[in-house]
Amino acid sequence: MRLLVPILGILLSWEGGQALVPPNELQQMSTVGSKYIDAEVENAINGVKQMKSLMDKTSKDHQDILTTLEETKKKKEQAMRLAKETEKKLTEKPEVCNETMLALWEECKPCLKQTCMRFYSKTCRSGSGLVGRQLEEFLNHSSPISIWVDGERIDSLLEEDQHQGRWLEDLEERYSLVEDSVDDLFRESTRAYGHMFPFFRSPFAGGFRGAMHTPGRFRFPVSSSRVVRDTPSFFPLPFRQHGFHHLFQPLFEVTQRMFEGAQKAMERDSQWLEGSPDSVPGGFTTEIRNSSDDRMVCREIRRNSAGCLKMKDKCDKCREILSVDCSQTDPAQGQLREQFEDAVRLAERFTRQYDQLLRTFQEEMLNTSSLLDQLNTQFGWVSRLANLTQNGNSNLQVTTVLSKTPRSKDSSKPADTQVTVQLFDSDPLSLTVPGEIPWDDPKFMEVVADEALRHYKQNTIE
């Protein structure tokens, strides 16, 4: 009598359907479906292994780039030190090397003052009278050496160095997030494999510990002022919503816009300094200048009249000072000038090389993160199984199989079959299998398992 009750329960009609399969057959179907699921789990774990291998290769490339960056930075700093030292020696010796330079300077000063004040009165809001007096006093106590040396190139290099430092810090933080997240996924997937297949050898060659620790791994030192972020566990909300690629795509776009903006600014400044067909009387173009740049120049001129020296290219006599040769009249000064020029050119070359390395690093991580996203979408779901509590011996449990009442009047068409299953720790799921596939066909459970796994993956990444 006790055995009769569950059998009668299975044979009862339910929502227009009739039970087809007895309990022993349900268990056999669960076993068949679980074998399919097991194969998909192993496939996913091998996919995670691909992600880890890709990240290991990227880590090696990353270390190579960091090593080259460090070497380039040292060479750049060495060239900058030499340039500063020679600049200091030149400026500490204010006397001119010949009368030609002095004569040019006397003609340069009024043009420089006029050019600067015309710009200031046209662009800046107030204070032109005070600025004019300060500028005149500055020029009367200055030496043409201040133009001859052209120290603005050093200032530009120092500004670029600060920008590159911030850029590298940002890249390193984003890289660390990706690397730590892939490590977490690898760790959780290894736990899942050990939990589900305890009697089989791990598919991760060399074991988890060997794969996780790369000899010689190091991180590029970053500023202590930066806040160190907590290492996220795998599948934090930002990764579920946006993925690895999202970390680098905005940075890449910002960098591209920055370079394009810098190029346009250089072209605009060059056009303004050299004149253009649209210039108004006095050499000023009618092109609308960037208001934030203008405000910065106004503040700079108010704080320090030396800012007007940046307009020397608007005056012929000022430009001629740059080409004065002191090698005959004052060989020591001429030699210092040559050393300064060589050091600045070398620093500029290493700055461009450092910049290109950063762009290479960023582009490689953009490509790598895109590939990681594709692999993660396909295989990352397996990490959720690390904390799985299994019920019974099957990962896929088939609880009911019901023949649905045909909706059409065509009695020759077989009725669809409704299957209720539970996969891993998910809630019971009802699936419909086309009536053309009978429940005793081997393909039946493959369709059920595949559809159940598809739903499970969807719920994992949402």
Q: How far apart are CA 452 and CA 457, in angstroms?
A: 9
Q: Which among 67, 167, 159, 84 has a CA at the least distance from the CA of 346?
A: 84
Q: How far apart are CA 305 and CA 420, in angstroms?
A: 82
Q: How far apart are CA 192 and CA 390, in angstroms?
A: 11
Q: How far apart are CA 249 and CA 364, in angstroms?
A: 11
pLDDT value at residue 389: 60
Degrees, nearest 5: CA angle 408-455-391: 110
pTM: 0.67
Mean pLDDT for the chain?
75
pLDDT value at residue 16: 47
Half-sphere exposure of 435 (CA within 13 A, CB side): 15
What is the per-residue pLDDT across 388-408, written as a single tens digit (0 to 9) for each? 765 556 789 999 888 876 655
Average pLDDT of the segment spanning 91-117? 85
Q: Which residue has the higher pLDDT, 172 or 459?
A: 172
pLDDT value at residue 255: 54
User: Does the pLDDT at position 237 exceed 80?
Assistant: no
Which residues pair with residue 421 across a beta bridge?
A: 398, 429
Which residue spans within 8-141 are E strands per DSSP?
A: 13-14, 17-19
What is the per-residue pLDDT across 303-333, written as a single tens digit (0 to 9) for each? 777 778 878 888 999 888 888 888 788 888 8
What lies within 8 Å, CB to CB, of 325 at 6+ separation is: 334
Structure token digits, residue 375 = 């692999």
pLDDT band (50, 70, 90) for residue 243: low
Q: Which among 101, 87, 115 has a CA at the least distance from the CA of 308?
A: 115
| DSSP-based helix, strand, coil % in the chain, nearest 5 | 70, 5, 25
What lies within 8 Å, CB to CB, of 168 at 6+ separation is: 69, 220, 222, 358
What lies within 8 Å, CB to CB, of 366 at 6+ separation is: 245, 248, 249, 252
Which residues pair with residue 14 across a beta bridge?
A: 17
Q: How far apart are CA 441 and CA 27, in angstroms?
A: 15
Q: How far apart are CA 270 and CA 267, in angstroms?
A: 5
Q: How far apart are CA 144 and CA 148, in angstroms?
A: 6
Q: How far apart are CA 263 and CA 322, in angstroms?
A: 25
Q: How far apart are CA 38 and CA 396, in angstroms?
A: 10
C-alpha distances in Å from residue 131, one per residue of 138, 149, 242, 282, 336? 10, 24, 52, 19, 33
The phi, psi pair for 302, rounded to 5°, reads -65, -40
Q: How far apart are CA 365 and CA 369, in angstroms?
A: 6
What lies within 8 Å, CB to CB, of 343 at 6+ separation is: 79, 80, 82, 83, 86
pLDDT value at residue 126: 67
For residue 14, the SS3 value is: strand
pLDDT band (50, 70, 90) for residue 349: very high
User: Does the pLDDT at position 208 exceed 70?
Assistant: no
Element containing residue 373 per DSSP (H, E): helix 331-379
Q: How far apart are CA 273 and CA 264, in angstroms?
A: 14
Q: How far apart are CA 402 and CA 421, in angstroms?
A: 12
C-alpha distances in Å from residue 336, one per residue of 145, 298, 453? 12, 33, 74
What are the sequence ranges of the domains in the chain? 4-49+384-461, 64-163+252-380
Determine contact, residues 422/429, Cβ cutoff 8 Å.
Answer: yes
Average pLDDT of the segment spanning 269-284? 38
